[in-house]
Structure 1
Amino acid sequence: MQCDAKREAAKGALELVKKFISNYKIVGLGTGSTTQAFIKESVDLLMNKKLISSSSSTSLFLSSLGLEAIEYNQKDSYIYIDGADEVTRQGEMIKGRGAALLGEKILAYSGSINIFVVSEEKLVNKLGEKRPVPIEVVPKAYPYISNILKKKNIKYEIRQCQAKDGPIISDWGGFIIDVYTGPMDEPKYYDDMLRSIPGVVETGIFLNLADYIVIGRESCGYDVIELKRKSKDI
C-alpha cells in the first residue's frame, strides 16, 4: 500500500500538536504544500485558535477554508508549524522555495514550540544535496550582491516569476536569489557568509529552530525526531 507522504506527515503533526495545543491561544503557520496539508487536516482544531501567518499565500489559503490570520500582538507565546525543502536528522533545514523565508524565520525564531513537517524525500544527509539556498535581498543591492557572488565563484540565479515577466518579489519587497552551494559540511559557515554581504536580508538556512520534525512515509505512517534547541540569547 502506498500513501501520500505529505498527508501522513500532516496527520502526524496534528497528533503532536494536540499534545501541546491546550497551552497556547495562538498557532503560527508557515508556507507551502505540506503546511497546507497540515491546515486541511487541522481545520476543526484551528477554528478555535488565533492564527498568525508567515505569508500572504498562507493567509489566502486560510481564508479559502473560512479561517483568518491576525496580526501578532507580541504578548502571547505560540506554537509554530511549517514545512521544509530539505532537512537533516540534526534539524538543519533549507527553506524558502515559496519565497516566504523571511516571514518563516521571523515566526520560527520566536516560536515556543516549532514543529516542521516533511515528506520523506526531503530528508538528506547534508543540506544542499538537492536544493539551492534561497536568500532574500534588497532589490537595489542586487547588482552588488551579484558581483560579490561572482567573485566568490558561487553559482546563483535570481528567481523569476512564471505568471509574469521579471523576478519574484517577496511579501517584504525583496528579490529571491537561489544560491547553489552543493552539499554543505558546515551550513553555519554559508549562513554567516551570505548574511555578511550588505544587502542580503536573510537566508533560507534554518539552524537551531526545530523542536520536532515529523517525517511522513510513502509506506504509510510517520516518524518523529525530537530535538533540543539551544537557548537563544535575546
Structure 2
Amino acid sequence: MNLKQMAGYEAALEIKNGQIVGLGTGSTTHYFIEKLGIRIKEEELDIMGIPTSYQSFFLARDSHIPITTLDEHDVDIAVDGADEVDPDLNLIKGGGAAHTLEKIVDYAADKFLVIVDDSKMVTKLGQTPVPLEVIPSSSRMVLNILKESGASPQIRMAQMKDGPVVTDHGNFVIDADFGLLEDASKLEKELNSIPGVVENGIFSNVVDMVIVGSDEGVKKIRPV
C-alpha cells in the first residue's frame, strides 16, 4: 500500500453511517473515494457524497456512492487532499484546478479532514505557486495586479490540449509565485478582493485534522 493509499483508506474509516460527505479531488482522494465505496457496499451504510469536481463525481459514481448536492444537504464531513500543509494546518490547494468548489464544500463542512503523504508537509507555505481561478476576460488585468504586488504569475497551460487549462466552471487558472508566505490568511483575503478572481487556493484556519501517510505509518495531526 503506497503512502497516499494509506492516508485515503484511513480517512474512509472516519466516516460514520448517515453522514453527508464532501468528496475532494486528486490522486489521494481517489483512494478515499474507492475505500468509502467498499465500506458502503460491505457494511450497507447510508452515506451520500457531494463531489467537488467532475473527477470526483465520476469516481463516486463508479464506486456506487450515492450523489447529492449542497442545494439538498448540509455537509457533515469533507475529505480532501492538499499540495502543501504548514505546521498551522493551512493549505495550498488547486493543483487539479478544482479549488473553487473544493473550498465551497470544505468550508461548508462541519468537519474537514485533509489527506496527504508526508512529502506535502512543509515548514512554510509557498513552495509551490498559489492557484487562482479567474474569469477569462479578466486574466490580463489580474496578471498585471499580481505582478505589481511582487508575484510571478502565469496562466496555466494544458498538457493534453492546446491553450490554457479550463476549469469545470469555464474559467482560467493563474499560478502566482509569491515565494514563501508570511501571512497565508491575509493573502487569501487579499487575492479574493481582486476583481475577476473567483477563488484562490489558500485554505486557512479551517482544517480539523490532517491524516498523513508516511513510512512510519499513518499520522493524525490536529490544530494546536
Shared fold by TM > 0.5?
yes
Structure 1, unmatched stretches of 5+, are: 229-234
TM alignment of 1:82-231, pairs within 5 A: 82-129=80-127, 131-217=128-214, 219-227=215-223
Deviates more, 1:190-199 or 1:158-167: 190-199
> Structure 1 CA distance, aligned partners of 2:154 and 2:186?
20
RMSD: 1.7
| Alpha-carbon distance in 1 for matches of 2:40, 2:102 | 19
State whether residues 85 and 93 of structure 1, in contact with CA within 8 Å, keep that contact through their aligned partners in structure 2.
Answer: yes
TM-score, reference length from structure 2: 0.91
- Residues 55 and 171 of structure 1 are in contact (CA less than 8 Å); yes or no, is this contact kept in structure 2? yes
Q: Which has the higher contact order (CA 8 A, sep 6+)?
A: 1
Contact 1:89 1:225 in 2 (8 A): no
Q: CA deviation at 1:63?
A: 2.2
* Unpaired runs of at least 5, structure 2: none
Q: Which runs of 4+ in 1 moved over 4 A?
A: none
Instruction: Give the structure 1 partner of residue 77 of structure 2.
Output: 79
- Could you tell me how far apart the structure 1 residues matched to 2:40 and 2:116 are? 20
Residue 84 of structure 1 deviates from its aligned partner by 0.5
2: CA distance, partners of 1:137 / 1:46: 37
Note the C-alpha offset of 1:220. 4.3
**Equivalent pairs, count:** 220
Structure 1 position 53 matched with structure 2 position 51: yes
% identity of equivalent residues: 36
Q: 2:32 aligns with which of 13, 38, 41?
A: 38
* Further displaced range: 99-108 or 32-41: 32-41
